[in-house]
Structure 1
Amino acid sequence: MQGLDFTVLVEYLPFLAWGAWWTALISVLAGFLSFGMGVVFAVALLYAPAVIRAPVAGFMWLFMGTPLLLQLFLIYFGLVQIGIDIPAIWSGVIGLGLHYAVYNADILRAGIASIDKGQTEGSRSLGFGRLQTLRYVVVPQAVRLTLPPIGSNMIALLKESSLVSVIGIAELVNAAQLGISSTFRPFEFYIAVAAIYYLLNLLLEGVLALIEKRVEATK
C-alpha cells in the first residue's frame, strides 16, 4: 500500500502558485461583473419599461435554470460557431460573472423594494431625478442591506471558479491536473488545492468583513 508523499508537490509549487493567481484574478473580475450587472438587472426589473424588463427577466430565468458548466461551454465553444470568438479567460469571467449576476440581482431587487418610499419621494422633492435618486439614495441603501447574502455569493463564485478549468484556463485545478498527469499522485495534489482554496476563502471572508465594517461605520 502506497503512503502519502507530499514531497512530490515541491517541484510543482510554481504551477500551483500560478494557478492560484489565475483563480484569484478570475474570481475578482467575475465578482465585479456579477455585482455591477446584478445592480443593472435589479433596476431594470423594477423600473425599466416592459420592452427591456421582459428580456432581462427571460435572461435571468435562463441563467438560473441551467448549470454554470453548460453556460461556460456555450460561451466558449458555442459563440465561436456564430463568429463570436471570446478568449478562454474572458469566457470564464463572463460566464461566472453573469451566472452570479442573476442571483445578485434577485437579492438586490428585494433590497431595493424594501427601501422606504418616503426616501424616494423626499429625494425627488429636493430636485433629484429618477436616475439620481436610484444612484445616490436607493441603490446604496439596498447594497448595505444586502451585503451579507451578496458576500455569500462571492464566496460561492470563488469556489465554482474551478469549473473554468474545463475550457483550458490554467487556474488552480487545471494546474493540479497537470501535476497529477506527471506524478500519478492525485491525493496529494487535491489536498494541496483544497488547502489553497481554503486560504483564498479565508482571505475573501476577511475582505468582505472589512467592507461590511466600513459600510456600517458610514451609516
Structure 2
Amino acid sequence: MEQFFTQFPTVLGALNEGFLQTLRLFIITLVGALPLGLIISFGSMSRFTPLRALTRLVVWVIRGTPLMLQLLIIFYIPGYVLPNGSPWPGGESGRFMASAIAFIINYSCYFSEIYRGGIQSVPIGQQEAGQVLGMTKSQIFFKVTLLQMIKRIVPPMSNEIITLVKDTSLARIISLQEIIWAGYAFLKGSHGYSGLVWPLFFTGVYYLIFNGLLTLFFGWLERKLDYFR
C-alpha cells in the first residue's frame, strides 16, 4: 500500500496529460464533424442524382470500415504515395493532426445519417404551411425544420458523442499519447516504473466521469427541448 501511494502522484500526472490529449481530440472532432455532417446530409438528400449517389457511397464506405483502419490509412498511406513523403509534421503534432482528420471524417458520416433522419422525420405538412405563409426555403429550414430536428436527434446524437469519448482510445494505434497510451506506458516501463497494471485500469475512471457529465448534460438538454411536444 505504501508503494501505491508513492506511485500515485506520478501516475496521476501522466494520466492527466493523456486525458488532456483525449479531451483535445474529442473537442476538435466535434467542432469539425458536427457542421461537416450537416453538409454531408444535404448531399445525401440532394435531388442531383450523381451527388446523392457519390455522397451515399462515401458514407457507406466510411461507416462500413473500422475507424482503426482509417487511422492507419490516413497516417501511413500518404507517405507512400505522395512524391514529397508524408504530409504530417513530425512527432506528436503530426499524429494528432492525422487522428483529428480521421475522426472528423468518420464521425461526420455518422452524424450525417442522424441529421438526415431528423430532417426527414419532420412532417412535410409543416414545410408546406411555411410556404403558404410566404416563408422562403431558408426561413422554413431554420425556423421550422431545424428546431424540430434538433429535438429529435438529441438522443441518437448523444449516444454517438459518448461513443466518441471511448473511440478516442483508438488513436493509440498510431502512438498518439492519449490516456490509454499513458496508462499502458506504465506496463511497458515509464517514469521509472515497469509492470504496473493498475494505471491502465484506472483510466476507466476518467471515461466514467467524463461520460457521466455528458449524460447529465444531454439529459438537461432533452428537458430544455421538451417545449416541442
For normalisation by structure 2, the TM-score amounts to 0.84
Distance in 1 between residues matched to 2:219 and 2:153, nearest whole Å: 13
Deviates further, 102-111 or 80-89: 80-89
- Aligned partner of 1:64 in structure 2 is 63
- Aligned partner of 1:103 in structure 2 is 110
Which of the numbers 182, 187, 195 marks the counterpart of 1:175?
182
Q: Does structure 2 retain, via aligned residues, the 8 Å contact 1:162–1:171? A: yes
**Alpha carbons of structure 1 residues 14 and 51: separation in structure 2 relative to 1, 3 Å:** same
Which of the numbers 60, 84, 87 marks the counterpart of 1:85?
87
**Alpha carbons of structure 1 residues 71 and 4: separation in structure 2 relative to 1, 3 Å:** farther
Read off the aligned partner of 1:206 and give its amino acid letter.
L
Where in structure 2 are the equivalents of 1:198-209 lying within 5 Å? 198-209=208-219
Q: What is the Cα deviation at residue 43 of structure 1?
A: 2.0
The DSSP-based 3-state class of the residue aligned with 2:197 is helix
Read off the aligned partner of 1:54 and give its amino acid letter.
A
- Aligned partner of 1:18 in structure 2 is 17
Match status 1:159 vs 2:136: no
Q: Say what the alpha-carbon RMSD is for the aligned residues.
A: 2.3
**Alpha carbons of structure 1 residues 212 and 5: separation in structure 2 relative to 1, 3 Å:** farther
The DSSP-based 3-state class of the residue aligned with 1:47 is coil
**Alpha carbons of structure 1 residues 5 and 52: separation in structure 2 relative to 1, 3 Å:** farther
- Aligned partner of 2:91 in structure 1 is none
- Aligned partner of 2:101 in structure 1 is 94
Read off the aligned partner of 2:32 and give its amino acid letter.
L
Q: What is the Cα deviation at residue 186 of structure 1?
A: 4.0
Q: What is the Cα deviation at residue 130 of structure 1?
A: 2.8
Gapped regions of structure 1 (runs ≥ 5) = none
For normalisation by structure 1, the TM-score amounts to 0.87
Q: What is the Cα deviation at residue 89 of structure 1?
A: 1.5
Which of the numbers 192, 196, 199 marks the counterpart of 2:206?
196
Distance in 1 between residues matched to 2:101 and 2:216, nearest whole Å: 25
Q: What is the Cα deviation at residue 97 of structure 1?
A: 2.3
Q: What is the Cα deviation at residue 153 of structure 1?
A: 0.4
**Alpha carbons of structure 1 residues 57 and 192: separation in structure 2 relative to 1, 3 Å:** same
Distance in 2 between residues matched to 1:32 and 1:217, nearest whole Å: 27
